[in-house]
Structure 1
Amino acid sequence: MTPVRRRDLVVLAGGLAVAAWLLVRAWYGELPALDWWLPVSLAVLALVEALGARTLRARLAAQRTARAGRAPRAGERAARLVEPLLVARVAVLAQASAYVGAVFAGVWGGVLAHVGPLAGRVQDARSDTVTAVIGVVCSLALVAAALWLESVCRIPPEEQEPSEGVSA
């Protein structure tokens, strides 16, 4: 499994921003009001993934310490095993979340590109601008949390050379 390329996320977000801007520009008067709480679910996902990354990083570090034969530090508990299949599933979730965050960042960015300049002249555009800013921030937070979670799931490089008799 290869890591998510940041370039792919940027291209995806940029392309969808242009598409969303064109669509909103064409049908802005017919769209329903954009409430501020619409992008909050992205923030909740970002928070859950950030907490998951923090927890998983600590558990994997404790497990590596236990495998190295070192005693846990003062205040640390014994390492709880982390199933490799769980780490693989979490990595897939992180990659999917990074793409979802990029999609929504592009969509909210396109909305913001249209309603931002109208905020001074159109009453509804002011509240839609606030919603779009919240959407962009929440989407980028989801991308950041997902990329962090993905990096936690990576296997660290081997610290020692392969033993003799083993060819790579």
Structure 2
Amino acid sequence: MRTIRYRWLAATAVVFGIAGWLVNSWATRNGYPAPVLNLTALITLAFIVGFTLFLGLRVRRWRDGNREKQLDPIAAARTLVLAQATAYAGALLLGWHGGIFLDQVSLWEMRPNHAPTWASLAMSAGGIIMIATGLVVERFCKLPPEDKNGSENNMPDDGGDYA
């Protein structure tokens, strides 16, 4: 499995940032509310981040030598996939709500209600935390170079082996 490509994360954030900005501009011109998630969505984000960290710490403990209990390779692979999905979902949230935030800030003086601006800023911060969590947990799943089961393989390196 390949590691997360930082360019793809950045491209996801930029594309969804432009989309969020365009949709919010259209909604503002037509009298619709800003398309932001409610602040209660931060509870869900916190649960996702916590669960991803919990599973990642289990893999890291096994990787660092605490091998009293056998690690299920399928569970480790699922943890890696969850970490990567968390990072990409965070990039999407950061981009979408960052674009909305930029559009809302330009309307700060004209609007009496600043709740969408603060909500988009909070969701952007949640996206940054999700990206960071995904990248950290992905690193937890990476095997150290000396731990390749003692065999020298002549396979091309695709960015590292995972637990």
Aligned pairs for 1:97-108 (under 5 A) are 97-108=86-97
Query: Quick one: distance in 1 between partners of 2:43 and 2:121?
Result: 12
Q: Match of 1:62, SS?
A: coil
- Tell me: CA distance 1:24–1:52, structure 2 relative to 1, closer, same or farther (3 Å): same
Query: Quick one: distance in 1 between partners of 2:127 and 2:57?
Result: 19
Does the CA contact (< 8 Å) of 1:108 and 1:135 recur in 2?
Answer: yes
Normalising by structure 2, we get a TM-score of: 0.80
Query: Quick one: distance in 2 between partners of 1:139 and 1:105?
Result: 5
Residue 32 of structure 1, CA deviation: 6.2
1:59 aligned residue: 62
Does the CA contact (< 8 Å) of 1:40 and 1:135 recur in 2?
Answer: no
Matched, 1:30 2:20: no
Q: Match of 2:120, SS?
A: helix
- Pick one of 122, 133, 137 that aligns with 1:134: 122
1:73 aligned residue: none
- Pick one of 120, 140, 143 that aligns with 2:109: 120
Q: Match of 1:123, SS?
A: coil
Query: 1:85 is aligned with what amino acid?
Result: I
Aligned pairs for 1:73-92 (under 5 A) are 79-92=68-81
Deviations 1:103-124 (A, max 9, x none): 1111111110111222232022
Deviations 1:16-38 (A, max 9, x none): 10111011101122136853223
- Tell me: CA distance 1:59–1:158, structure 2 relative to 1, closer, same or farther (3 Å): closer
Query: Quick one: distance in 2 between partners of 1:167 and 1:104?
Result: 40
RMSD: 2.4
- Tell me: CA distance 1:11–1:33, structure 2 relative to 1, closer, same or farther (3 Å): closer
Does the CA contact (< 8 Å) of 1:46 and 1:138 recur in 2?
Answer: no
Query: Quick one: distance in 2 between partners of 1:167 and 1:103?
Result: 37
Unaligned runs of 5+ residues in structure 1 are 67-78
Does the CA contact (< 8 Å) of 2:52 and 2:79 recur in 1?
Answer: no
Query: Quick one: distance in 2 between partners of 1:43 and 1:12?
Result: 21
